[in-house]
Amino acid sequence: MTEEETPPKQPRRPRSTGPLRGSLLHLDSRGRARMVDVGGKAATRRRAVARGKVRLNAAAFGALASGKLSKGDALAVARLAGILAAKKTSEIVPLAHPISLDAVSVECELVASTREVVVTATTSTAARTGVEMEALTAVAGACLALYDMAKALDRSIEIREIVLLEKTGGRSGPFRR
């Protein structure tokens, strides 16, 4: 085989040996993804709140605000989609643990000045791992449902700023944005 016929070597992934190794819990000793073992942790009360925004054009926002979208009550659909998304988090996020949720609430606030729907999700449980991913997934699901309900009037809808606002419980302690 000539040099031109030799297949290119696959680049090797660098192995991390730096200070982050211990803090990247989703990596095993060889740098491969794994689910974190939470079996030795105590179950504690945990709560998380996340938020996202859906920005619409004037026609779509007006139809949504007046309840005149052709697909029906978009805000009710978004709330239900968010709750369902939270319950399905471990099926969507590969390394998330399946957990039993004690409560999920999804609120949608219309802000006329910016033509936005502010979606806020709150999740809670008593478990060995947190509910941040469930809150964030609830917001994403609700925002996507709003997009789906209004896309006939606005293909430029923006889903923005999905963030964790706060979390409580667990070893790492509270967080507030």
- Give residue for tokens 């979208």: 69
* DSSP code per residue over 69-127: -TT--HHHHHHHHHHHHHHTHHHHSTTPPP---SEEEEEEEEETTTTEEEEEEEEEEEE
Catalytic residue among 28, 73, 102, 148: 148
b/e 50-82 (16+ beta carbons within 10 angstroms → b):
bbbbbbbeeebbebbbeeebeeeebbebbbebb
d(CA 75, CA 22): 43
Known catalytic membership, residue 148: yes
Residues that are catalytic? 148
